[in-house]
Amino acid sequence: TLFIFSIDNCDLEDNKEEEKMMVRKVSMYYFSQTSVLCLNGSYSIPIPFSPPCPHPGPQPSDQYGTRASFGLIDQIDTSRWSAAVTSPPGYMVSLSICSPPDAPIGRWRLTLGQGGLVEFVLLYNPWCTGDVVYMDSEEKLTEYVLAQDGIIFRGSWKHLISTPWNFGQFEDGILEACLRILEMNPKCLHNPGKDASGRKNPIYVSRVLSAMVNCNDDKGVLLGRWTGDYDSGVSPLSWTGSVEILRNWDTNACQPVRFGQCWVFAAVACSVSRALGIPCRVVTNYNSAHDTNSNLVIERYVDDNGQLVQKSGDMIWNYHCWVENWMTRPDLKPGYDGWQAMDPTPQEKSEGVYCCGPIPLKAIKEGELTYKYDAPFVFAEVNADVHTFMKDKDGSTKKIISTVQVGLKISTKSVGSDRREDITHLYKYPEGSDEEREAFTKANHQNKLLQQQENAGLLIAIKVSAEMRKGCDFDVFAVVTNNTPNGKKCRLVFGSRAMSYNGILGENCGFKDLLNVELAPGEEKRVPLRMNYSKYAENLTEDNLIRLMALLLDYGTREAYLAVRNVVLENPEIKVRILGEPKENRKLVAEITLQNPLPVPLQNCCFTVEGSNLTGGQIITEKLNSTVEPGQDAKVKIYFTPTHSGQRKLVVDFDSNELCHVKGYRNVIIGK
């Protein structure tokens, strides 16, 4: 990759005019100095040339490798800072300069002799074989560095939802915000020279980003909130991209943007990583364990009605998002280069700071929990054992039989398409395999090693309807099977509660308690539970999640069996129709429609739209002046002018008092 620029208007006498460029490491930068121009540009004077001296940051230092001085050589040396004249003698001096592959990223100043000063930004160069973030696939580089939009997976492991996101890493002002993130991190504020030197290492930079995307310890970008009270900011579900978040933080004196949750933290970290030249992708882990005491076990307690009793800080999130950054790991033994998990959501402290990673995916898969950084926490997210206990009214507890698993359908967007790529195999071996047992042995995961498959005489499972749309009534079923040769008499408790994606339970949405369920040998019974919109509507969170719990108590053996399933209620589809021929710099119209699926009118309806290279780096908002009756369409027309050719993603959010944060998108191919 070659970045070429000319310096034509640099006033070498008093440096009133400075040119700032963005370049990647081990690219050759061509400087052409032709003259000193006065403000009116009326005459020119030949300029002498002196050897260049580049340095980043406010405290350049030979000690930290953040200052270099070098003369001219005949041919560029790509292993170090070097410069060569590339023009014939005359009034014009053309200079080619090359940086070494281990130069720190960030702002640099290039001093040309006594007066010339050029500012530029140096980035990682994943196209360069000598760079520590080198990636050898052009198709993957297009996806993981250059793509300004993508898909983040939410929902549940049995009902995955594709959520569009505008990363916008090349929009105006975003690189400046990303550099400010580096400069506002506490390590930089404490020792700028040492911090600038550390930026040659993407391990260090990723760890800084993990801490700075949240604001728990510093002047970070986002404040997290999971309580549902967003009056002093906006709901995390309001965001459709990273651009507005980063601009808000940068232009408001680094005050944290309110509010974020895991997919927002991950998406912003992805935008910053890509802007700095680190290949990055957002991943989603379904049934993600949050192990607070590092014992690789999630302990859950229920009462005799099957309702969760919060006795432990351990949680199972319906899903959890983090990012993976691509880099070499020279600090570890060979074989651990490649994708590294890094999590900016503030959950647990690492070395006294709310950050997590980077840790090689291979280290998680192999159970190498001593490897840096934070391997035990990430290992538990995808591998923790789940123990469920029933707490009786007298305070005693007993273990009940349950089949809850963590670390399911680990997902990311496929290269070159919006389809899902399952990357579970990069984190774990197939369950029950010899390799899995070996990894658990390394990790000292004794609970998994000792766990025996329960061959239960009674089985309980939860089945759901084919379609569960928000606004509709529907049935769910507890399916009980007696695999014993004897008749069984049981109690069945079947309940449902609203739920946030991080596992926090809300109010009751429907409940049934059957004291006398009789099962003949080999018999299966389906017990329905009706989910009425009139009941669940007022309790449902913005996540559209309901947790179903079925508890079966065998009167004869006193054993208890628990089945748990999270269901996602589907939002209506947003339809986007593009009117006109999509071409660069030609105004287009998007006709956007959503049909009201609820039995009540929608009030204060609003569409917001954004897209990199489509909407000028801005969010377009269109409000409806009237209510939308049940079954009727909310429809608007949005005008925008594309600025670049290629496939772009127009991201849409619909919001109203009754139906919140419905997401949609349309891929638009822009011609030249």
User: Please, are residues 503 and 318 in contact by the beta-carbon 8 Å criterion?
Assistant: yes
User: Please, are residues 509 and 531 in contact by the beta-carbon 8 Å criterion?
Assistant: yes
Rg of the chain, C-alpha, whole Å: 29
- What single-letter DSSP state applies at residue 114? T
- Does 383 count as an annotated binding residue? yes
Out of 262, 356, 490, 509, pick the active-site residue: 262
Q: For tokens 């930026």, name the residue.
A: 199
Q: Tell me the C-alpha distance between 461 and 481, whole Å.
A: 9
- Does 337 count as an annotated binding residue? no
Contacts of 452 (CB under 8 A, 6+ apart): none
- Which uninterrupted H or E stretch holds 174? helix 174-184
- Which uninterrupted H or E stretch holds 339? strand 338-342
- Does 385 count as an annotated binding residue? yes
User: Please, are residues 355 and 344 in contact by the beta-carbon 8 Å criterion?
Assistant: yes
Q: Tell me the C-alpha distance between 603 and 8, whole Å.
A: 57
Q: Tell me the C-alpha distance between 551 and 495, whole Å.
A: 9
Which tokens belong to 630? 């049940």
| Per-residue exposure over 408-423, b if at least 16 CB sit within 10 Å of its own CB, e if not | bbbbbbebeeeebeeb
Out of 343, 374, 653, 655, pick the active-site residue: 343
Is 422 among the residues known to form the active site?
no
Is 445 among the residues known to form the active site?
no
| Max intra-chain CA distance, the chain | 105
Rounded to whole angstroms, what are the CA distances from 447 to 310, 383, 436, 450, 524? Answer: 22, 11, 13, 5, 32
Local structure of 189: helix, strand or coil: helix
Q: Tell me the C-alpha distance between 496 and 619, whole Å.
A: 38
Local structure of 198: helix, strand or coil: helix
Is 343 among the residues known to form the active site?
yes
Out of 320, 387, 445, 661, pick the active-site residue: 320
Write the single-letter amino acid at 16: K
Q: What angle do CA 228, 234, 238 make, to 5 degrees?
A: 95
Q: Tell me the C-alpha distance between 351 and 354, whole Å.
A: 8
- Does 139 count as an annotated binding residue? no
- What single-letter DSSP state applies at residue 146? I
Binding-site residue set for Ca(2+) = 383, 385, 431, 436
State the catalytic residues: 262, 320, 343
